[in-house]
Amino acid sequence: MFSRILNYKIFNGNMRSLLDYIDRFDKVNIVSGNPQVLNSGLKNEKLFKSFTDSNAVIIPDGIGTVICSKIVGEPVEEKIAGIELMDNVIKQCELDGKSIYLIGAKQEILDNCIVNLREKYPKLDIVGSHNGYFDLKKCDEIVQDIIKKEPYAVFVAMGCPRQELFIADNIDRLNCKILMGVGGSFDVIAGKVNRAPKWMIKMGLEWLYRTVKEPFRIKRLGEIPVFIIKTLIYNKKS
């Protein structure tokens, strides 16, 4: 069920089995395990603890992670994109009458994201939201609002490592079932940026599409080879 990459356990089943697996938890932190996020855990003890806690599930979100699962000889069944898992969870929430809370992105993007979610899932109960621009050390009001509204799932879209730190700092206080960092997903749902064409996603080239569309991402591309090299070195030693 897991691929062991560096000291991480990466979920290696398909989307259906992941949804069933998540269901077993009382509270779960779903970590979008792309190289940038996993590298951040190797540099920051608090994040590493959070990603390897018994309430965390790391999904193979990114071609770099898929490649590393092959290097360690435990290939994942499929790449699982955070945004696709988020969509599946939301679909299920609408069916079951469970609520969600959204944190992240600029206010205008967040508003458009909510409009588009309401259009796609008319019965979805969005009990609260907050933009992603606040002081992580002074966000008690936001946390209290989430506690009060008791959402089933909280999606946090503030980029890495900000969203992962928010989750690590607050997971114990929050009374929701699912917490998930979803990066730039609100921008995609709001229609501000598009996902890559399907053929590019299939060929593992989503990173290339995103970098061409948003050239500031070029710096982040270095995270993929760094993660692969770390995996190769670790694998050789063990």
> Which residues form the interface with ligand UDP (CB under 6 A)?
104-106, 109, 132-133, 157-160, 162, 183-184, 186-187
Please identify, using beta-carbon distances, which residue of 72 and 196 lies nearer to ligand UDP: 196
> In angstroms, rounded to a whole number, what is the distance separating the alpha carbons of residues 153 and 28?
10
> In angstroms, rounded to a whole number, what is the distance separating the alpha carbons of residues 59 and 70?
15
**Start-end of H helices in the chain:** 15-23, 35-43, 45-52, 63-71, 82-96, 107-120, 140-149, 162-170, 185-189, 198-202, 206-213, 218-221, 223-237
Name the minimum Å distance from CB 183 to ligand UDP.
Answer: 2
Please identify, using beta-carbon distances, which residue of 76 and 109 lies nearer to ligand UDP: 109
Please identify, using beta-carbon distances, which residue of 41 and 104 lies nearer to ligand UDP: 104
Name the minimum Å distance from CB 123 to ligand UDP.
Answer: 26
Residue of minimal CB distance from ligand UDP? 132
Segment 212-221 long-range contacts (CB within 8 Å, at least 24 positions apart): 220/36
| CB distance 21 to 11 below 8 Å | yes
Name the minimum Å distance from CB 203 to ligand UDP.
Answer: 19
Name the minimum Å distance from CB 217 to ligand UDP.
Answer: 7
Please identify, using beta-carbon distances, which residue of 171 and 187 lies nearer to ligand UDP: 187
